[in-house]
Amino acid sequence: MASVAAALRSVGKRAAPGGDREDGDRMVITPLGAGNEVGRSCVHMSYRGRAVLFDCGVHPGYSGVAALPYFDEIDPAAVDVLLVTHFHLDHAAALPYFLEKTAFKGRVFMTHATKAIYQLLLLDYVRVSKASVDDMLFDEQDIHRSMDRIETVDFHQAVEVNGIRFWCYAAGHVLGAAMFAVDIAGARVLYTGDYSREEDRHLPAAETPPFSPDVCVIESTYGIQQHQPRDVRERRFTEIVSSTVSQGGRVLIPAYALGRAQELLLILDEYWSNHPELHKIPIYYASALAKRCMAVYQTHMSSMNENIRNKFGCSSNPFNFKHVESLNSIDSFHDVGPSVVMASPGGLQSGLSRQLFDRWCEDGKNACVIPGYVVAGTLAKTIINEPREVTLANGLTAPLNMQVHYISFSAHADFPQTSAFLGEIRPPNIVLVHGEANEMARLKQRLVSQFDGTNTNVVSPKNCQSVEMFFRSEKMAKAVGSLAEKVPNVGDSVSGLLLTTKGFTYQVMDPDELRVYTRAQLSSANITQRISVPYSGSFEVVRYRLNQIYESVEESAVEESDVPALVVHQRVTVRQDSETSVTLQWSSDPISDMVSDSVVAAILNISRKGPKGVRAEEAARTKEETERMAHKVVHALMVSLFGDVKAGQEGELVISVDGDVAHLDGKSGDVECENAALKERIETAFRRIQGAVRPIPLSAS
């Protein structure tokens, strides 16, 4: 588990890499959209060389490139995974653009239901905006191509991509909405997307993850507002609808085609079933898109809540509405007598809902129920304030006599939900996104006071403002195999291969078992080399020569077919195979290769020059002399390294550096010195010098 090492700091521009800390431990979270705004959700997260993008939406208030998140802040090619929480345009609609028009080559994941509706919704989006917008971000073909690249993930299913582990929880909000948990090398981030902790007719409440994430990126749409209880809202809604129609009025419900509309239809359909007197009053549902999506709703029952699943288990599919008829266009609508019409768009900007509004707004018997969050700048927002007059689509002004009701069925978390959610999962870092600046600031303030004293950081970065966090992750390794036969005690030494897989998992093992633990992807190898050298003289001469050169020459322990064989330094076996050649055999490694090369040279020298007289002095050269020579070399090298080096008694060297005096035992390498740093340096130097003086370690010693 990673632990947060440092306080959070928010900087205007991305800090230069490096800095005072190891770059690998820094997590950077940057909203590319939805920072202090609602719309174009897109949050970039990078940690340990991995990058994840959460959501990829457009801003409904802008068009063309201006609606996109700030993709130029990041390198799309470096993004490994893109996770889309739900199908709403402000969370998914920039996806075709990002997939087709940028260098992004990572993988995209969303839930099954989201993917199915995503396609329909975007095709509709393209069709609608074609009429009004010149610079289209993408076309139908881009959407179809994007479908091939989107992979699906089921709730709770754990997926690993390039060392990034992630899985998702149900988020409520709309069908298929998910909140993603991402785990990179033990650091966990939870991105809630839009969520609601209130169970409604068909959607489950958002799940509470059973762990505490290190960072929680959370929506703040409703800031510190509080919803009315659901049953009160439902009752108000059904009362308004029934009283209006029973007085002969018409009810207009402008709603986005998907999401809340299905919930409202479930409410109405049930209310109608329980009130037979209303059966003669038709409910129309005017959205071709929603009609197409109905198959998805009827199929993905498993993403819905227990209540509707049980209903499904006991009777016919609840999404086969009994009292709701669909309406294709205003031409096929016979406006005689009372009726209830649900039509899109929800903001009354244009389309069928606007046509009906224009037709009905002057009659005081009629009612308009606005069932959700309305975006600033739309007619729906205007009429909530109940002005006396409204401007019709044709530019004329008309008196607004129609009753206007605002009952929010919006499935976003309100403050009590947000606060309870954060209280349960207790993340040490909270990043607020997806909310208007004022709401967000208020929420931040409330959260700061709620978590006061718990060392919780709450930040609300603006778009492109990076939040940096440092995690000092403990690197845990697993010692496996024969290396781990017994658990070592303090002070024991451990040597083996350290295998790092995908950057985060460490294993320590014996080299021979590498194959086992990498599934035969890697393996250690032994290369046995056998080389035959032409030599036609007596083997005794070879033996003699080698004995002179090497410190260790032994008879081969394994006698094969009576051929004389010698083992030099326990590494290279020299054997006379035939009259005309000797064979050298050894197992590859740098030292053995060197030994074998020198053996080859020695043998070639014999044959080239013929047997040479051996000088007496050479033969008499004693071991002590060799030692003396070695000592001399050590001394000379020490002088070159440390300057003031005096030869002491019995091969001892006295080294003085800046007043510190060290005594080095020339044989054992023991150093006596009060300055630990100097001692360590001398030891290291001596070890290296020894390595150079005696390159072939005597395995016996």
Partner 1 sequence: MGTSVQVTPLSGAYGESPLCYLLAVDGFRFLLDCGWSDLCDPSQLEPLAKVAPTIDAVLLSHPDMMHLGALPYAMKHLGLSAPVYATEPVFRLGLLTMYDHFLSRWQVSDFDLFTLDDVDSAFQNVVRLKYSQNHLLRDKGEGIVIAPHVAGHLLGGTVWKITKDGEDVIYAVDFNHRKETHLNGTVLTSFVRPAVLITDAYNALNNQGYKRKQDQNFVDALLKVLASGGSVLLPVDTAGRVLELLLILDEYWGQRNLKYPIHFLTNVSTSTIDFVKSFLEWMNDSISKEFEQNRDNPFLLKNVSLIINKEELEKLGDAPKVVLASMASLEVGFSHDIFVEMANDTKNLVLFTEKGQFGTLARMLQVDPPPKAVKVTVSKRIPLVGDELKAYEEEQERIKKEESLKASRIKEEELKASHGLNAKASDPMTIDGSSSRKSSNAGSHFGANVDILIDGFVPPSTSVAPMFPFFENTAEWDDFGEVINPDDYMMKQEEMDYSMMHGSGDGLDGKIDEGSARLLLDSTPSKVVSNEMTVQVRCSLAYMDFEGRSDGRSVKSVIAHVAPLKLVLVHGSAEATEHLKMHCAKNSDLHVYAPQVEETIDVTSDLCAYKVQLSEKLMSNIISKKLGEHEIAWLDAEVGKEDEKLILLPPSSPPPPHKSVLVGDLKLADFKQFLENKGWQVEFAGGALRCGEYITVRKIGDSIQKGGAGSQQLVIEGPLCEDYYKIRELLYSQFYLL
If the CB atoms of residues 157 and 401 are measured against partner 1, the closer one turns out to be 157
140 makes contact with partner 1 (CB under 8 A): no
What does DSSP say about strands 466-472 and 403-406: parallel, antiparallel, or unpaired? unpaired
Check the CA dihedral 259-261-263-265 and report its sign: negative
Q: Based on the residue annotation, tell me whether 569 is a catalytic residue of this protein.
A: no
Closest CA relative to residue 592, chosen from 618, 609, 572: 572
501 makes contact with partner 1 (CB under 8 A): yes
112 makes contact with partner 1 (CB under 8 A): yes
Q: Among 28, 330, 425, 497, which residue sits at the site for partner 1 (rule: CB under 8 A)?
A: 497
If the CB atoms of residues 44 and 188 are measured against partner 1, the closer one turns out to be 188
Cα 210 to Cα 403: distance, rounded to the nearest angstrom? 46
User: Minimal distance in Å, beta carbon 551 to partner 1?
Assistant: 16
206 makes contact with partner 1 (CB under 8 A): no
Which listed range, 156-164, 321-329, 544-552, 643-651, lies at the site for partner 1 (CB under 8 A)? 156-164
Cα 39 to Cα 59: distance, rounded to the nearest angstrom? 5
Closest CA relative to residue 555, chosen from 563, 566, 571, 541: 566
The answer to whether the CB of 407 falls within 8 A of the CB of 233 is yes
Q: Show contacts with partner 1 in window 237-266 (CB under 8 A).
A: none
Q: What residue type is 240 in one-letter code?
A: I
If the CB atoms of residues 97 and 535 are measured against partner 1, the closer one turns out to be 535
Which listed range, 324-332, 423-431, 513-521, 542-550, lies at the site for partner 1 (CB under 8 A)? 513-521
Q: Among 70, 406, 506, 539, which residue sits at the site for partner 1 (rule: CB under 8 A)?
A: 506
Q: Provide CB contacts within 8 A for 232, sequence distance 6+.
A: none
**Dihedral in degrees, nearest 10, Cα atoms 618, 621, 626, 629:** -70
Q: Show contacts with partner 1 in window 626-685 (CB under 8 A).
A: 683
Q: Among 141, 157, 208, 320, which residue sits at the site for partner 1 (rule: CB under 8 A)?
A: 157
Which listed range, 295-303, 379-387, 459-467, 544-552, lies at the site for partner 1 (CB under 8 A)? 295-303
- Beta-bridged to residue 181, according to DSSP, are 167, 190
The answer to whether the CB of 204 falls within 8 A of the CB of 305 is yes
Residues in contact with partner 1, shown as a per-residue x/- string from 215 to 234 under the rule CB under 8 A:
--------------x-x--x
* SS3 state of residue 573: strand
How far CA 539 is from CA of 542, 545, 575, 669, in Å, comes to 5, 10, 9, 39
Residues in contact with partner 1, shown as a per-residue x/- string from 327 to 356 under the rule CB under 8 A:
------------------------------
Q: Among 161, 484, 563, 633, which residue sits at the site for partner 1 (rule: CB under 8 A)?
A: 484
Q: What residue type is 535 in one-letter code?
A: Y
User: Minimal distance in Å, beta carbon 493 to partner 1?
Assistant: 5
Cα 397 to Cα 414: distance, rounded to the nearest angstrom? 37
Q: Among 23, 154, 424, 627, which residue sits at the site for partner 1 (rule: CB under 8 A)?
A: 154
| H or E element that contains 661 | strand 660-665
Q: Show contacts with partner 1 in window 263-292 (CB under 8 A).
A: 270, 274, 292
Q: Among 315, 385, 394, 668, which residue sits at the site for partner 1 (rule: CB under 8 A)?
A: 315
Q: Show contacts with partner 1 in window 518-537 (CB under 8 A).
A: 518-534
If the CB atoms of residues 590 and 659 are measured against partner 1, the closer one turns out to be 590
Q: Show contacts with partner 1 in window 449-478 (CB under 8 A).
A: 474-478
Closest CA relative to residue 581, chosen from 530, 537, 529: 537
589 makes contact with partner 1 (CB under 8 A): yes
Q: Among 9, 235, 322, 462, which residue sits at the site for partner 1 (rule: CB under 8 A)?
A: 235
User: DSSP per residue over 60-116, as a string?
Assistant: TTS-GGGGS--GGGS-GGG--EEE-----HHHHTTHHHHHHHS---SEEEE-HHHHH
If the CB atoms of residues 215 and 603 are measured against partner 1, the closer one turns out to be 603
- Beta-bridged to residue 4, according to DSSP, are 471
User: Minimal distance in Å, beta carbon 534 to partner 1?
Assistant: 7
406 makes contact with partner 1 (CB under 8 A): no
696 makes contact with partner 1 (CB under 8 A): no
Of 86, 412, 434, 569, which residue is the catalytic one?
Answer: 412
If the CB atoms of residues 358 and 593 are measured against partner 1, the closer one turns out to be 593
479 makes contact with partner 1 (CB under 8 A): yes
Q: Show contacts with partner 1 in window 560-579 (CB under 8 A).
A: none
If the CB atoms of residues 450 and 607 are measured against partner 1, the closer one turns out to be 607
The answer to whether the CB of 4 falls within 8 A of the CB of 470 is yes
Listed in order, strand segments (DSSP E) in 213-323 are: 215-219, 250-254, 283-286
User: Minimal distance in Å, beta carbon 615 to partner 1?
Assistant: 28
Structure-block tokens of residue 92: 């998914």
If the CB atoms of residues 41 and 146 are measured against partner 1, the closer one turns out to be 146
User: DSSP per residue over 376-412, as a string?
Assistant: TTSHHHHHHT--SEEE-TTS-EEE--SEEEE-----S
Number of residues in contact with partner 1, rule: CB under 8 A? 102
Angle at 21 between CA 19 and CA 24, to 5 degrees: 105
588 makes contact with partner 1 (CB under 8 A): yes
Backbone angles phi, psi at 398, to 5 degrees: -140, 150
694 makes contact with partner 1 (CB under 8 A): no
Q: Among 74, 116, 174, 655, which residue sits at the site for partner 1 (rule: CB under 8 A)?
A: 116
Residues tagged active-site: 412
